[in-house]
Chains A and B, each alone.
Chain A
């Protein structure tokens, strides 16, 4: 409506994914089917509109069944040393395993400083009534910057 909203490409879809992510976490302990379904819709949205999810967020949902991974509740987290030192996440819904290395100095490309070319600031002037949305918003900005850099 105002000039700010037009600039941010895919803002409505980011907002939708943000909502689905929060809804998924809200339903995680009450109904795992619903949580998985919302996660699935969220990933589907990202795929359809070719928007990338930030890797920190991507790691908190199961790659396989898209249900949110909460340590001790829906996921088993163990430190492993055998193939390479790392963290092993086991989803308790579908029993799939993800391993993340914990090597010293290992950084994802998006965490490296030279991956960011330009940072857009889309923070709205209106005050959000929830702190959750605030933090998510920041994540969106981060996602966006990464996204634009890759193109």
Chain B
């Protein structure tokens, strides 16, 4: 019994499939079959029914057609058709190991943004004269490749997740954890920790709920505390 259940999924051997030939005039075969199978009252309408054309059957979907792009910036809808909007795990098989060089690059970048002296004198409370300045720089920085972990959230199942950011949009972070699974995290309900070598930066996700491109020119307002 066990052997037969295994062989269900395997392909039939060539010796059997050789003999099978598909019916050549399938339409003829279908009408014959229907004539025999249906009750005699319905047989007259067979020809009419078969002539009906299914409108949606002929309609080819535009979405999957791979067409040449004109030399213009893709719209968001076109990007979606090409599958360039969402970084997902199933299709591209992203590995945590592949992201480590990205994280390294990000650390170098952050060091450049914050200046070489940053590691020595970190502003620890709002009274520090550098506090405003550093906040301003942090909000303008890029977070792709950052290593974050979540410390507080409205939804308890989000707490404790950690990973490297692969995508940063207006309302979500997509992070890739150590188990190679990409998770989507809503920004506005969480408190995050960002790991910069041995420094932990804690911030509200709601402060970052702007498009990453628009954050470059956005002014950051200090001292807002959100209800979580």
A-to-B contact residues, CB < 8 Å: 1, 5, 12-13, 15-16, 18-20, 22-23, 26-27, 30-34, 36-38, 40-41, 43-45, 47-49, 63-65, 67, 93-98, 126, 128-130, 133
Assuming the contacts A19-B109, A26-B105, A36-B84, asked whether A65 and B145 have C-beta atoms less than 8 A apart, the reply is: no
Task: Give the interface size bracket for B toward A.
Answer: 35 or more
Subset of 7 A-B contacts with CB under 8 Å: A34-B87, A41-B142, A44-B212, A49-B217, A95-B66, A95-B69, A96-B68
Per-residue CB contact flags for chain B residues 84-123 toward chain A (1 = under 8 Å, else 0) read 1111100110110010011001101100110111000000
| A37 and B167 form a contact (CB under 8 A) | yes
Closest to B84 in A: A36
Chain B neighbourhood of A1, CB < 8 A: 115, 117, 133
Assembled-state Cα–Cα distance A133/B225 (Å): 37
Chain B neighbourhood of A30, CB < 8 A: 94-95, 98
Q: Which listed residue (A13, A15, A34, A93) contacts B82, Cβ 8 A?
A: A93
Assuming the contacts A94-B74, A96-B71, asked whether A12 and B87 have C-beta atoms less than 8 A apart, the reply is: no
| B84 and A48 form a contact (CB under 8 A) | no
Closest to B211 in A: A44
Assuming the contacts A30-B94, A45-B216, A64-B72, asked whether A129 and B84 have C-beta atoms less than 8 A apart, the reply is: no
| B87 and A41 form a contact (CB under 8 A) | no
Interface residues in B48-85 by Cβ distance below 8 A to A read 66-74, 79, 82-85
How far is the CB of B23 from the nearest CB of chain A, in Å? 39
| B87 and A37 form a contact (CB under 8 A) | yes
| A48 and B79 form a contact (CB under 8 A) | no
| B105 and A22 form a contact (CB under 8 A) | yes
| A23 and B71 form a contact (CB under 8 A) | no
| B213 and A64 form a contact (CB under 8 A) | no
Assembled-state Cα–Cα distance A41/B101 (Å): 20
| A63 and B72 form a contact (CB under 8 A) | yes
- Other than the known A1-B117, A64-B70, what 5 A-B pairs have Cβ atoms closer than 8 Å? A16-B142, A47-B213, A49-B216, A65-B69, A97-B68
